[in-house]
Structure 1
Amino acid sequence: MGELRLSNFEFGEQFKRRTKAYSLRVIKLFQALPKDVEAQVLGKQLLRAAISVAANYRAACRARSKAEFAAKIGIALEEVDESLFWLEMLEEAGIVKSVLLTGLKQEADELTAILTTIRRNSARK
């Protein structure tokens, strides 16, 4: 019946933790990658993109203007999409088995959907 809604602050804090947890999961994946050149190059690209999602969302929460907020959310959205690309590359190059990436890819998809909604809703205000 009555849906419990988080305040904007509570949502922001929860989402900060979620994006940071995504980054930490990617760090663990990177640490487990083979040490060959291809795996390390793709892994470092993934690492940069995934960590940037959390960093830019955190920066958006501290934005001094609506324009700055929108810009940081846009960057976080681009970075989560890029991290999904690198996950796909690791899978399609045969470096990491698909089954090991399912959870991270699902989380990237969910983060993308949430950031898209945040961007859309912030544009309306």
Structure 2
Amino acid sequence: MKKENVVREKSFQFAIRTIRLSQYITTSRQEYVLTKQLLRSGTSVGANIREANNAVSKADFINKMGIAQKECDEVMYWLELLKATDYLNDAEFASIYNDANSLLKLIRTIILNTKRNLTS
């Protein structure tokens, strides 16, 4: 399986987790503003990866993956804020934060490898 397919599946599963976490926080903790931002950026990661898979050039692919990278990093920011303001406990935070960090590393690796292949 190609890395792009792995990242596509991981980002899709991550979006599902983000949606479920957002539903949980809005229902049980009555927090809406930060959760909306988390939901937007968490689902955007996978959407941009899907766009990257349909890129018209390597440069376009790198650009779309770069947007996915930024969105993934933004997810981590919102998660940190939700934890710092006690909307997430340690266990809730650690699980999804580790997934986000793992996804971010995978996206960065794909970008770096694609850039290397451009110069080879």
TM-score greater than 0.5 by the shorter chain: yes
The answer to which of 96-105 and 36-45 deviates more is 36-45
Offset at 1:102? 1.1
Q: CA RMSD in A?
A: 1.8
1:73-92 alpha-carbon deviations (Å, 9 max, x no partner): 10000000000000010000
Offset at 1:17? 1.3
Report the counterpart of residue 3 of structure 1 in structure 2. none
Gaps (5+ residues) in structure 1? 1-5
**Residue 28, structure 1, aligned to residue 28, structure 2:** no
Gaps (5+ residues) in structure 2? none
The separation in 2 between residues aligned to 1:34 and 1:75, in whole angstroms, is 27
SS of residue paired to 1:19:
helix
1:84-108 alpha-carbon deviations (Å, 9 max, x no partner): 0000100001112121121110011
Higher helix share: 2
Report the counterpart of residue 107 of structure 1 in structure 2. 99
Report the counterpart of residue 36 of structure 2 in structure 1. 44
Instruction: Output the TM-score relative to the length of structure 1.
Output: 0.87
Residue identity (%)? 33
Offset at 1:38? 7.8
**Residue 75, structure 1, aligned to residue 67, structure 2:** yes
Runs of at least 4 residues of structure 1 off by over 6 A?
none
1:101 alignment partner AA: F
Q: How many residues align?
A: 117
The separation in 1 between residues aligned to 2:95 and 2:32, in whole angstroms, is 21
